[in-house]
Structure 1
Amino acid sequence: MDVYPTESGKVAVWVISESGERIRFTDSFQPCIYVSAKQEDLDGLLTKLCNNQKIASLRFTEKYAQPIDNEKSRVLELTVKDCRQIPSLTQEILRMGDYLRYELHNCDVQNDRSYFFSRDLFPLAYVEVQAVKSGLHYALHDKVESIDYAVPDLRVMRLTVDVAKKGIIPNFEDPIGKIRLRNGSQEEVVIDYGDEATKLLQLVYAVKEFDPDFLVTRGGDSFLFPYLIQRANANDILDQFLLSRDPVAFNRKLSAAGRTYMSYGHTFYRASTVRLYGRIHVDESNTFVVKESGFDGFIEIARTCRVPLHTAARFSIGSSMSSIQFYQALKDDILLPRNKKIPEAFKSALDLLVGDRGGFIFEPRLGVHDSVGELDFSSMYPSLMRKYNISAETVLCKCCPDSDVRIPDLGYHICKKRVGMVPKTVDLALTKRLTYKRLRDATSDPRQKQMYDSRQTALKWILVTCFGYLGFSNSKFGTVDGHIGVCAYARETFLKSAHLAEAQGFEVIHGIVDSLWLKKPGATMDDFRGLCDLITSETGIPINFEGYYKWIAFLPSKLHPRVSVLNRYIGVMDNGKVKVRGLEVRKSDTPGFVFDAQTDMINVLAKADNSAQLYHRVPEALKVVRIYRQRLLDGTVPLSDLIVNKHMSKEPKRYRQQVSQVIVARQLAGHGLDVQAGTNVEFLFTHSDHKRCSRRVKAAQLIEKGVNSDTKKYLMLLYSSAANLLSFAGYTAEGVYVASRGQQQKRLLP
């Protein structure tokens, strides 16, 4: 269940027995790192390191030093006494070679993952453990490919703390109010008696008594645990404040500071990690995988990617996916270079223009369409990587320059002698996900259906990120040439599919990368399914019939009403499911009031069975606008429904304009709360067109009794959202305003 280093050459291993007992073992663990260089330089390094106190042993061995190498090289293997000393030893060796002479390998794999790899284990694997003199001996009775694996009965406890804040915003100096603990059966323990030290020690006692495997918090990494540690330190009981299974005290200098990073053009912030030992701390506000796929998906990721539970809860999906590649590389004797050395092929301007074009798009046919079918390729890009063997070491390989397998548009050759690392590792996730989807659709048991869906959702994110990581500069098995090669194959496959559809009498009304929207007079669902079978057979990439729309409306641009917009539509399927893209209900910064209004309007329109009925239901949808407008004018809308959530894409001081989120960040900074790039801020519009910036909005944390919202601003947001939805009928924000007032007006006023 958990692994971590303890003393030199040792790791603690927590195992859940069949009887439910949680047992702590100690195992010997001395990982290896490798150095590659010219032979004379390696001989000299061997002499220098013979008496190094951090090294248990060293020897020469044969490995593939780089992923693209066709032959093994003679490298120096260093067995490190204490895995915690690998970073310092790495820097020591690099300095010896002036950071140029020596290339380090396998030096940046996390210690717990390295242990799993070396023992061929993974989290929650079903194993037989035997303690022997040299450490632990494992007999594995499980495998990562398993589908119906057994998960032990895990104990989960949720921790929340009420801060007796003295000011508007809580800080580390405020005393503890109440501590609440809730277990899996929803039994709650409230600690609200005694002084602060008593409350903290009662928390320690309650956690020890229930002995949870998972301690779940919200904001535990960013505030809750740093706050509790500070309060324990202030009360001189930090050495007694033990929440881990292992009696390991928290570091009194634990910081709540995290890091900001970029991903796909967006800025994100991740709080620093608070580690428990023998238990797993899951911070719901600092985990993607638990948020997207629940605990079932979280465990699936940990098992499939061989990532420790504590790490899987916080790792980006891309980092988890890379873990599969690392494991496979070690099994194939391929070393993991500290710095990747896979050059990109030279490209002329024409090469870039022709080759680097992304996916193919058919511009949507503007307006409302009846009887439309949607076809979606299942994991198209990963399937193409697997089918065409695309990886860093296979695209433009040195061993097959005359290969007849060529990437469309680019002409790059692909290796025919070996299967690449990326196709090998993608195959596992693809195979498991397709199996989970089949099992989900076949079962009638609600719990099993939910479990299989959560697992396939988690694997979907693995497959989504594997394409991005193929072109990521820091990915050890990534390659830009392979990245654009996948896009080239995708364009070829997509166009071939569209031509096959047209040959069968279908009309393409929209297509984007891996999805097609088609219609054909009199076509049945069996006709669409037959087309899917044909495309799958001809392309070798599975495509699914996603659904049959009674009607679908492709909406126009706000600036150019005669031009359609990609990924902006609303449609209703024959089973009643509503699919919406690009509208306010899909945006994270939409206030609840506007979200509810647009949702109610969509529900009205969704009752239409065809385009003619849809237009007839527009007046009823406008009645919804009138109802919400009146609620706002009457002042009956709770302020909580008017809160806006905005993302900070950069540090507040780097913004040039006084946008709302910058004003809010300044307000919060005045109360001692610094807003980091990559985080979100919440606020209320109070006087959006006021000359003084500080009066335009109010941070949600600073809202006090008597604060009023900007009615005009929220009416504008209401009218705009209604106009976006009803744009298929020609409505603008002004038109919605006029309809909601029942009279002609030129200006948008309440």
Structure 2
Amino acid sequence: MVEFEAWLLDAYADKGTAVAWFTDISGRPIRAHFKYRPDFYVHVDEEHRCNVRNQIEALTGVMAVEEVLRREAFSQEEKTVLKVTMRDTIYFNKIVRKLKNLEFVKLYNIHILHSQRVLYKLGLEPGCKALLDLAYDGSLLSLTKVDDREVLPPPFKVLAFRLTKKGRYTIDRIDVFSGPTKIGEFAGEPNKILFEFASVVRSEDPDILICNARDDTFTMLLAMSRLYGMNLQLGRDRTDIASLPRPLPYWVRGRVVLDEQHFDPLLGCWGLAGILERSRFGFLPIDLAAEWTSNRLVDSRNTFELLQHGVLIPAKPKYFEPRRNVGEMGIKDKGAIIMPPLLGVHDNVAELDFESEFANIMVRDNISYETISERGDIDGLLPGVIKKFLDRRLYFKRLRSSLPQDSEELDYCEQRQTSLKLMLCVLYGTSGCAWNRFGNVLAFEKINAMAREVMLEATKVAEERGFRTLYADTDSLFVRREDATETEYKALVETLNESIGLPLTLDHHYRFLVLLPRKEDAHTPAFKRYYGLTYGGELVCRGIECRRHDTPLFIKEVQEAMMKALLFKDDLAEVYTKGLADSIRVLNMALKRLERGDIEGSRLCVTKIMRKEADQYFSLLSHVSAGLRMKAEGEDITSDSFISYIYKSSDHRNPLCRVVPFTMKTSTYDTSKYKDLLTGAASTILAPLLTRGMKMAQGSSRLDDYI
């Protein structure tokens, strides 16, 4: 017997054997295995039960059939069902399909993937640490989970590569990277490229492979390997590529393949630590956790939790929504409260944030699918799930303040808490969704009703203590009181915590906060659109140009410089006078630089994502035109490709001539277009100040008059 401390990388079923791959502290791969006997349940009325049982027992691949008592999910009534245990995975789907055709039969637990079943059997999520006892032949004797809150990911070895096509069906080159370092560059004949690439994979022996266009890339690699008669081995378990039904995951057993899009900041990526948190939450293999929608991750976690209590999981959604008229729906089906912002510049403002408000409400009030329409005196499924991951998310969220800025630990910590935040939001958001297997719209409505009560109570308590509400949005409250100190704001937070019973934090204490109007109407308040300067000197922005990934870097820099010139002042009067003048001065200097043409092309690039193939667009939008030009130059442009371009002549009659791909170097740009973009960004932050500020300075209230 051998003992190890290791992290789970992947698990899957291979006929009658379950295989689990681990990585120890030194990065060494460990293969463990144990017997795997998948099962499912059949409910049939008593009249047909004996006959159906005899038929099932006679089927090839069935190991045992027994009568057991089980209850369906969220039901208190037990019923007799047939538990069917299979010898392996070979005939599982065939038998399930045959039984589905019987009218008087209802099947349970048939939707669960074999890889999920193996993980459930292990009781360990990928990325988690465990103490292993293995026999000398690799058989798993015992496994003990080690609960950890480590910020850094496990010591998984990562290898990235990028495949470039020549045309549609031929490989042009493969570049291989270990971290930021390129360790291989293979070009020439396709069979030579394939052989050298497979050799690098074997020698480096990575746990995780990252590539562009994951599914397309491996489909191409498999097709080319078969074409050249090469039985290439890219996994740790040997396979015969001629018999593979598809490349992933069968061709790379013992490794995990991820798409590079999950690591790109332009897509709001999760990063490796974030993907591992999704895998832990969903109790899913790492690659599925990255590819599946969040709703499916919630379903997988719910399934695991219910199976621990031995309940039956229906194959089809059991969505509940009562029949109601429009009037009843109007009363019950309301979202959270939003109080319109008070436009303008405000000083000494506190932003109070409910920490995971909806998740905490579900835990506090025991709100779940089954506790609303049936019994409210039982412990709900959702509060139990939420409590575990809410505590974990808040741990990482609070840990951030103690980590060094720009450190690797801070990045990983942010990935983890952001990923968990999304999953907790989805738990709430899908609680009444028809696509949720157990969705109950009454639960969703109850959560929203309680959230409205919480916000109304919070504003009432704050106003009773002399604080004015400037803006309230779902789970954030912006309040102000003349000459209030940070200590007094923190005292308000403590008072609200006690009176409401939900955790709040003082998220930001602003020296100045600017609440912005809608772009279309300068007199109508906009939601989630503001910027401000904290007493700590931090610039906080929401819903404006510098937060968008497709805003050119130069315009982001100028907008941020204008905000700093405006807000780094002593008081409101100085913001409206000297600050406004300084901000416009920054704008004018930037406009002159544009006119001189001395801005580097990389800082004027607009980057957008192709959401579909270029030839599927009906309109030649700017990024589509750039993508078509790049494709004409031989570049591999597909859906999800990032297109970077520069405006060359935005008024040109031919859309293809309006922009130039960044890869096609150009020394000139459309000055007029970039001036429009820049003045638009400037108007965003200055619009609420111009009228009052220029009146104080006896000037015009039009921005154009100062450019």
Contact 1:391 1:478 in 2 (8 A): no
Cα deviation, residue 21, structure 1: 3.6
Q: Deviations over 1:488-512 (max 9, x none)?
A: 1000011001100001110000000
1:719 equivalent among 671, 679, 685: 679
User: For residue 157 of structure 2, what is the amino acid of its counterpart?
Assistant: R
Cα deviation, residue 305, structure 1: 3.9
User: For residue 571 of structure 1, what is the amino acid of its counterpart?
Assistant: G
Residue 356 of structure 1: aligned partner: 333
1:426 equivalent among 386, 391, 402: 386
Cα deviation, residue 470, structure 1: 1.0
- How far apart in 1 are the matches of 2:241 and 2:704? 58
Contact 1:360 1:491 in 2 (8 A): yes
Asked if residue 455 in structure 1 is aligned to residue 447 in structure 2, the reply is no
2:363 equivalent among 386, 402, 416: 386
Contact 2:27 2:156 in 1 (8 A): no
- How far apart in 1 are the matches of 2:657 and 2:345? 43
User: For residue 29 of structure 1, what is the amino acid of its counterpart?
Assistant: Y
Residue 404 of structure 1: aligned partner: none
2:112 equivalent among 109, 114, 126: 109
- How far apart in 1 are the matches of 2:92 and 2:151? 35
Q: Deviations over 1:406-428 (max 9, x none)?
A: xxxxxxxxx11x11111111111
1:68–1:18: structure 2 CA closer, same or farther, 3 Å change rule? same
2:155 equivalent among 113, 128, 153: 153
Asked if residue 628 in structure 1 is aligned to residue 620 in structure 2, the reply is no
Contact 2:202 2:234 in 1 (8 A): yes
The 5 A counterparts of 1:516-665 are: 516-615=477-576, 616-646=578-608, 659-660=621-622
The 5 A counterparts of 1:217-616 are: 217=211, 219-221=212-214, 223-233=216-226, 236=228, 238-240=230-232, 242-248=233-239, 276-286=252-262, 292-397=269-374, 400=375, 415-416=376-377, 418-441=378-401, 451-615=412-576, 616=578
User: For residue 312 of structure 1, what is the amino acid of its counterpart?
Assistant: A
The 5 A counterparts of 1:29-108 are: 29-65=36-72, 67-83=73-89, 85-97=91-103, 101-108=104-111
Q: Deviations over 1:270-325 (max 9, x none)?
A: xx989622122232214699964533343344335432223233333443333322
- How far apart in 1 are the matches of 2:591 and 2:552? 14
Cα deviation, residue 606, structure 1: 4.0
Cα deviation, residue 472, structure 1: 2.2
Asked if residue 739 in structure 1 is aligned to residue 706 in structure 2, the reply is yes
Contact 1:4 1:111 in 2 (8 A): no
Cα deviation, residue 229, structure 1: 4.2
Residue 130 of structure 2: aligned partner: 126
Which segment is superposed worse, 79-88 or 443-452? Answer: 443-452
User: For residue 599 of structure 1, what is the amino acid of its counterpart?
Assistant: E
- How far apart in 2 are the matches of 1:542 and 1:557? 32
Tell me the SS of whatever aligns to 1:248. coil
Tell me the SS of whatever aligns to 1:590. coil
Cα deviation, residue 391, structure 1: 1.4
Cα deviation, residue 359, structure 1: 0.5
Contact 1:648 1:678 in 2 (8 A): yes
1:139–1:596: structure 2 CA closer, same or farther, 3 Å change rule? same
Q: How many residues end up aligned between the 2 structures? A: 689
2:172 equivalent among 152, 172, 175: 175
Q: Deviations over 1:652-706 (max 9, x none)?
A: 78877665456567767878999877776554444434444444445x38x6456
Name the TM-score, length of structure 1 as normaliser: 0.82
Tell me the SS of whatever aligns to 1:60. strand
1:651–1:352: structure 2 CA closer, same or farther, 3 Å change rule? farther
1:717–1:43: structure 2 CA closer, same or farther, 3 Å change rule? farther
- How far apart in 1 are the matches of 2:225 and 2:641? 28
- How far apart in 2 are the matches of 1:634 and 1:222? 46
Cα deviation, residue 73, structure 1: 2.2
- How far apart in 2 are the matches of 1:201 and 1:25? 29
- How far apart in 1 are the matches of 2:671 and 2:688? 27
Tell me the SS of whatever aligns to 2:81. strand
- How far apart in 1 are the matches of 2:46 and 2:335? 43
User: For residue 47 of structure 1, what is the amino acid of its counterpart?
Assistant: N
Contact 1:179 1:199 in 2 (8 A): no
User: For residue 618 of structure 1, what is the amino acid of its counterpart?
Assistant: L
Contact 2:609 2:640 in 1 (8 A): yes
Cα deviation, residue 345, structure 1: 1.5
Contact 2:10 2:255 in 1 (8 A): no
Name the TM-score, length of structure 2 as normaliser: 0.87
Residue 4 of structure 2: aligned partner: none
- How far apart in 2 are the matches of 1:87 and 1:472? 28
Contact 1:555 1:565 in 2 (8 A): yes
Tell me the SS of whatever aligns to 1:238. coil
1:528–1:150: structure 2 CA closer, same or farther, 3 Å change rule? closer
Cα deviation, residue 523, structure 1: 1.1
- How far apart in 1 are the matches of 2:281 and 2:526? 38
1:274–1:640: structure 2 CA closer, same or farther, 3 Å change rule? farther
1:467–1:610: structure 2 CA closer, same or farther, 3 Å change rule? farther
Contact 1:229 1:252 in 2 (8 A): no
Equivalent pairs: percent with the same residue? 24
1:482–1:245: structure 2 CA closer, same or farther, 3 Å change rule? same
- How far apart in 2 are the matches of 1:502 and 1:487? 23
1:129–1:693: structure 2 CA closer, same or farther, 3 Å change rule? same
- How far apart in 1 are the matches of 2:203 and 2:638? 38
Tell me the SS of whatever aligns to 1:426. helix
Residue 143 of structure 2: aligned partner: 139
- How far apart in 2 are the matches of 1:336 and 1:670? 52
Tell me the SS of whatever aligns to 1:478. coil
User: For residue 140 of structure 1, what is the amino acid of its counterpart?
Assistant: T
Contact 1:392 1:477 in 2 (8 A): yes
User: For residue 87 of structure 2, what is the amino acid of its counterpart?
Assistant: K
Tell me the SS of whatever aligns to 1:617. helix
Residue 403 of structure 1: aligned partner: none
Residue 697 of structure 2: aligned partner: none
Contact 2:346 2:513 in 1 (8 A): yes
User: For residue 739 of structure 1, what is the amino acid of its counterpart?
Assistant: Y
Residue 205 of structure 2: aligned partner: 211
Contact 2:32 2:138 in 1 (8 A): no
1:77–1:358: structure 2 CA closer, same or farther, 3 Å change rule? same
Q: Deviations over 1:497-543 (max 9, x none)?
A: 11000011100000001100000112111111111111111111111
Provide structure 2 residue ranges, at least 5 long, that are not aligned to the other structure.
1-7, 695-699
Taking only aligned residues, the RMSD between alpha carbons, in angstroms, comes to: 3.6
Residue 269 of structure 1: aligned partner: none
- How far apart in 2 are the matches of 1:735 and 1:683? 32
Cα deviation, residue 552, structure 1: 0.4
Contact 2:345 2:689 in 1 (8 A): no
2:35 equivalent among 20, 25, 28: 28
- How far apart in 2 are the matches of 1:669 and 1:120? 48
Cα deviation, residue 363, structure 1: 0.7
1:422–1:486: structure 2 CA closer, same or farther, 3 Å change rule? same
Which segment is superposed worse, 132-141 or 334-343? Answer: 132-141
